[in-house]
Chain A
Amino acid sequence: MREFGLFALVALLIVGTGAFQSWNLALTIVNMGLISAIMAIGVNLQWGFAGLFNVGVMGFVGLGGLAAVLVSMPAVPEAWSAGGVQMFLALLIGLATIVAAVFVTRRMPKGRLKALAMMAVLIGGFLIYKSVFGPARDAIESVNPAATGYLGGAGLPIVIAWPVGGVLAAAAAWVIGKTALGLRSDYLAIATLGIAEILIAFLKNEDWLARGVKNVNGLPRPVPYEIDLQNDPIFVERASGLGLEVVEASGLYVKLSYGFMFAAVLIVILVLAQLALKSPWGRMMRAIRDNEVAARAMGKDVTSRHLQIFILGSAVCGIAGAMMTTLDGQLTPASYQPLRFTFLVWVMVIVGGSGNNLGAVLGGFLIWFLWVQVEPLGVFLMQTITAGLADGSALKDHLLDSAVHMRLFTMGLVLLLVLRFAPRGLIPEK
């Protein structure tokens, strides 16, 4: 009953936006809400099911975005012939160095010889890698730098990028989990925070891969372009049959198509997550979360279960990241901010109810709605407050200009209020 009421409330808020502002805005909120809900499910898997404190969501979302570029953009043959093979060679050398280092750690007896061998492998490997990598990178980046300057992608349909984004994020999560999961909760938090920053720095600076801060624009779309719809006589006829203006109708059509695709993904992930939660595996996860020592004593392999769910949750975030980049139609690494992509998702999970997948979905929609709508509300509020002040006074201008920053403040307030008065979230775990 409570679930139903809360979801009805969110639906009402969105319908209200459609009725009073515009249906285009309402659908924009729904689409990002769907993606936010998927991210929230990913974090909920880790935190709600297993108590893993991952504040590196941004990094996995960014990797998903990278997948969208690598899968969908056409390849740049000139760049490939200029340095593609050499680049792969460099990456192989880097990988071989790491494998050799791991081998040395595992196989050699302890002692000074081991330390020396380790140093030799790491420094030697790094120098060789650097000498192969540098020229390859320069060659690739000098191919028409204004338009491409990167290797390009595989030229496949962008929908394939969604699972690929999940796989990329899962691979990163495996590496991170192997090193950091043994740490206690707040160390893991700091470690994941750092990894996310490194991943985004990687996206920003490795121009040969995805153009860095020069951005990749014009990703192919899985849905038709508005302009094509407006030139399509059948569509124009249907739109006028519904009594809609053609421009608005084309926008709605595109957003609705995205919405249906995202909703399908959300439903699949939600159903899988619910099944997992109800299964013996899910019960084991929660047992580990509630009492790690007891679970270990019962013979459960806590570390590898943690690794498993860390990878799963991160993969879900990666899928959501690829979907988001698809929706945006561009990859802009500079726009990845931890407050927006990591901590906001955490607010969604905590507010919705950690440990409850429906709660995560609700939190995703509700918090995203607030995130979008607080800005105009803040401006309105400030206009009301400052109505008595003289026009052009410095204080009034400052207050009106600053109203946009009310957003972060409100999110913090919502989080604190929920933690204080409903610590288990709006839809608590059963």
Chain B
Amino acid sequence: MSTATADLAGGHAADGHGAHGHSADGHGADPHGHAHHPFHAHHFDSLEQQFDSGKLGTWLFLVTEILFFSGLFVAYVIYRTTHPEIFEWGHVHLNKYLGAINTAVLIFSSLTMAWAVRAAQLGQKKLLVTMLWITFACAGAFLVVKYFEYSHKFHLGLLPAGMFNPVMAEPVAGHDATGHGDAHAAGGHATGHAADSHDVIHGPPPPPGAGIFFSIYYAMTGLHAIHILGGMALIAWLAVRASKGHFGPTYFGPVDYVGLYWHLVDLIWIYLFPLLYLIH
């Protein structure tokens, strides 16, 4: 079986010449006597066919991902068209600068991921490992910013519908403490000093159903954050394999596939950012 496959592969022009300079690639030159690349699966004629099959599979997976997220985008469309007021009230409590910073972090991680794919294709092992770990670090930075955003909202009671319980400033309270610190007692800070103005929500009271904005916000950004976590696990796996020298000009599929996934995560964020943070 393996001999037959090797013969097929050997007869293929793409693998016939040994000019790749990749030690494991040359047929017959393998010191272990294997007639094929160590990661060349037996059921594929060539490494190129193997790569193309994996790539098609990855694109199909990304199709399911878009369809998966499309349900949430449709929920967004329904509520944005029928209840625009809850979006106008809710988006004020999202920090568009933190959102923009996170967008930049993700775009930078996309750059390093694309660069990692290039490094894998050119067999630049050191650069590949470096780029993968930079991408991993950016993903971590994105989640740290997200953690601060989430925890601030939890603190203010800006939770999904059902748990939505915003900590509102008393309407009579001034913008700073001028001896009326007790006005902030409603916020649970009756300790004498006026509560920090960041601990309560100023401005108009929420319209009915405002929690739905936060349901949509947490569902969309939360599902996206889960994808970031999954991406981090995959990138770490790639970095470990890359440091073992697994990838080269004829075998870089896994880096390419994870790269595609990572860019899709970036792509979804590119839409989430204006839809949630930049409402006016």
- A in complex with B: no
Interface residues of B (CB under 8 A from A): none
